C-alpha cells in the first residue's frame, strides 16, 4: 500500500509518500520561513499564496523522489484541518484533484492525528501511549489508544508553548522563528536571576497556560534599567523562561502519566511510553528535563527525529494510510475544517481557539 500525503496547514508546504511497512519513499518539505520573516510571524494570506504557488512542484518532487506515478498510489491524503484555512483549502483541493483524476480514495486527515500517529511510523511504538504535542499552534497531552481513538487529557487555556517562545524572542529582539534563538541565548544565561511564574504548576489536571509567563517576561524587560537589555540580560531572561517552561512541562506530564496509568490498569505494562512531538520538542533543554522525568518515573521517552516532529507530509500520508486500511476514506465533498478537535468529547478549554 502506498499513500501520498500533503500538508499545508501552517507555514510548510510538504508532500510525502509512505508505504504500509512504514517506509518513507519521499518526504519533501518547503519552508516558508523567509516569506514570513519580514513580518515577525506567520501571515495567513502570505502563507496561502505561497502554498498555492509551491504545492504542485512539491507534490511532483515527492512523486519523483519515490519513483512513482500517481496511478501507482493506493490513496491520496491531505491535512483537512485544523489550521490556517487558506492553506488547508490549497492542500485539500490538490489532493481531491489527484484522487478524482486517477480514481483514488481521498483521505482528509486531522493534522493532530498526523502528529499523534507519527511514533508508529518513526519508532514502531504500539498503542496505547501518551503524547505531548508542543508546537507553535498546539500544546496538548493526549492518550493515544488506537487509530481514531484519542482522549485529550489537557490543553492550553491560552497560548501554545511555541507561541510563548516566539513572543519572548520577539520582545527580546531575537527575531523569528523564536524558539531556536531563545534556546541558543539561554545557554549563557542564569535561570535564577529573574523570578518567573510557573502557571498551573502543582494544580490538579493536565492543562497548560503560558500567557502569564509571557506577561511576566514583558514586565521583566520593562523593569530593566535604561540601555537594557544587554546580551547578559537577554541570556538570563531566556534561561529563566526556559526553566519555567521546563518546570511546567514536567509537572503537567507527571499528572498525565498518573492519570494514564489509572485509566489503563490492564493493558499498560511498565514502562508507559511518553511520545513528544511538535517543533518545541527540538529544544534540547526541554528534552533533557523530560528524559530526567522519565528516568525517575518508569517512563519510556520517545522523540521522533526532528524532520518527523515538526510539520511534514509523511505524518499525513501515514495517518491517511492507517485510515485507508480501516476503510475510513472521505468523499470529495469533504469541507476543510479550520477547527477540528481530535477528541470531540474533551471539555473545551476556556479561550482555546484553533488549538482545540
The dihedrals phi and psi of 165, each to the nearest 5 degrees, come to: -60, -45
Provide the 3-class DSSP secondary structure of residue 172. Answer: coil
For the sheet with 12-19, list strands across it.
24-31, 12-19, 2-7, 75-81, 106-110
Q: Residue 165 binds which one of ligand KG4, Zn ion, none, with CB within 5 to 8 A depending on kind?
A: ligand KG4
CB of 287 to ligand KG4, least distance (A): 9
Query: 253: phi > 0 → left, psi -120 to 50 → alpha, else beta; which?
Result: alpha
- Distance from C-alpha of 336 to C-alpha of 179, rounded to nearest angstrom: 29
Total residues interacting with ligand KG4, rule: CB under 6 A: 19
Sites for ligand KG4 among residues 18-47 (CB under 6 A)? none
CB of 31 to ligand KG4, least distance (A): 9
Residue number with CB closer to ligand KG4 (184 or 348): 184
Residue number with CB closer to Zn ion (110 or 168): 110
For the chain, the residue count is 356
Site string for ligand KG4, 244-283 (x = CB under 6 A): ----------------------------------xxx-xx
Find out whether the peptide bond into 177 is cis, omega within 30 degrees of 0.
yes
Is the CB of residue 156 less than 8 Å from the CB of residue 135?
no
Question: 290 CB contacts (<8 Å, ≥6 apart)?
Answer: 132, 249, 250, 253, 274, 276, 301
CB of 176 to ligand KG4, least distance (A): 8
Binding status of residue 318 toward ligand KG4 by CB under 6 A: no
Q: Residue 177 binds which one of Zn ion, ligand KG4, none, with CB within 5 to 8 A depending on kind?
A: ligand KG4
Binding status of residue 338 toward ligand KG4 by CB under 6 A: no
Nearest to 250 by CA among 198, 214, 213: 198
Is the CB of residue 343 less than 8 Å from the CB of residue 116?
no
Site string for ligand KG4, 114-153 (x = CB under 6 A): ---------------------xxx----------------
- Neighbour tally for 322: CB within 10 Å: 22
CB of 19 to ligand KG4, least distance (A): 24
Residue number with CB closer to ligand KG4 (96 or 167): 167
Q: Residue 183 binds which one of ligand KG4, Zn ion, none, with CB within 5 to 8 A depending on kind?
A: ligand KG4
CB of 239 to ligand KG4, least distance (A): 13
Residue number with CB closer to Zn ion (8 or 209): 8
Q: Describe the crossing of helices 231-263 and 284-296 by its angle, rounded to 10 degrees.
A: 40
Choice from 5, 86, 178, 199 touching ligand KG4 (CB under 6 A) = 178
- Neighbour tally for 347: CB within 10 Å: 9
- Distance from C-alpha of 184 to C-alpha of 186, rounded to nearest angstrom: 5
Binding status of residue 10 toward ligand KG4 by CB under 6 A: yes
The helix (run of H) or strand (run of E) holding residue 132 is strand 129-134
CB of 311 to Zn ion, least distance (A): 4
Residue number with CB closer to ligand KG4 (32 or 322): 32
- Distance from C-alpha of 131 to C-alpha of 342, rounded to nearest angstrom: 13
Choice from 163, 311, 329, 330 touching Zn ion (CB under 5 A) = 311
CB of 221 to Zn ion, least distance (A): 29
Q: Describe the crossing of helices 111-123 and 313-325 by its angle, rounded to 10 degrees.
A: 90
- Distance from C-alpha of 293 to C-alpha of 309, rounded to nearest angstrom: 20
Residues near Zn ion, by CB under 5 A: 135, 311
Residues near ligand KG4, by CB under 6 A: 10, 135-137, 162, 165-166, 177-180, 183, 278-280, 282-283, 310-311
Amino acid at each position: 500500500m502506498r499513500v501520498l500525503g500533503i500538508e499545508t496547514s501552517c507555514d510548510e508546504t510538504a508532500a510525502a509518500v509512505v508505504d504500509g511497512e512504514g517506509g518513507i519513499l519521499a518526504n519533501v518539505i518547503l519552508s516558508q520561513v523567509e516569506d514570513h520573516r519580514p513580518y515577525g510571524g506567520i501571515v495567513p494570506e502570505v502563507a496561502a499564496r505561497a502554498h498555492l504557488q509551491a504545492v504542485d512542484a512539491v507534490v511532483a518532487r515527492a512523486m519523483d523522489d519515490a519513483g512513482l506515478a500517481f496511478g501507482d498510489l493506493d490513496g491520496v491524503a491531505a491535512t483537512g484541518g485544523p489550521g490556517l484555512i487558506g492553506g488547508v483549502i490549497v492542500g485539500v483541493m490538490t489532493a481531491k484533484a489527484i484522487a478524482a483524476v486517477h480514481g483514488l480514495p481521498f483521505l482528509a486527515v486531522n493534522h493532530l492525528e498526523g502528529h499523534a500517529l507519527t511514533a508508529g511510523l518513526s519508532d514502531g511504538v504500539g498503542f496505547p501511549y501518551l503524547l505531548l504535542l508542543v508546537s507553535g499552534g498546539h500544546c496538548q497531552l493526549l492518550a493515544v489508544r488506537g487509530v481514531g481513538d484519542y482522549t485529550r487529557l489537557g490543553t492550553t487555556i491560552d497560548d501554545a508553548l511555541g507561541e510563548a517562545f516566539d513572543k519572548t524572542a520577539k520582545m527580546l529582539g531575537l527575531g523569528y522563528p523564536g524558539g531556536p534563538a531563545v534556546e541558543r541565548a539561554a545557554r549563557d544565561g542564569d535561570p535564577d536571576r529573574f523570578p518567573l511564574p510557573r502557571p498551573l504548576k502543582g494544580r490538579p489536571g493536565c492543562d497548560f497556560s503560558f500567557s502569564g509567563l509571557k506577561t511576566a517576561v514583558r514586565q521583566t524587560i520593562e523593569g530593566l534599567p535604561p540601555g537594557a537589555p544587554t546580551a547578559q540580560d537577554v541570556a538570563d531572561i531566556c534561561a529563566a523562561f526556559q526553566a519555567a517552561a521546563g518546570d511546567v512541562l514536567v509537572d503537567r506530564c507527571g499528572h498525565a502519566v498518573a492519570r494514564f496509568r489509572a485509566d489503563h490498569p490492564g493493558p499498560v505494562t511498565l514502562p508507559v511510553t511518553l511520545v513528544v512531538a511538535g517543533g518545541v520538542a527540538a529544544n534540547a533543554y526541554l528534552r533533557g528535563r523530560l528524559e530526567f522525568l522519565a528516568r525517575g518515573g518508569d517512563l519510556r521517552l520517545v522523540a521522533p527525529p526532528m524532520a518527523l516532529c515538526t510539520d511534514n507530509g509523511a505524518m499525513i500520508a501515514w495517518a491517511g494510510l492507517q485510515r485507508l486500511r480501516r476503510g475510513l476514506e472521505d468523499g470529495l465533498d469533504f469541507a476543510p475544517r479550520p477547527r477540528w478537535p481530535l477528541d470531540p468529547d474533551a471539555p473545551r478549554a476556556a479561550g482555546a481557539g484553533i488549538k482545540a
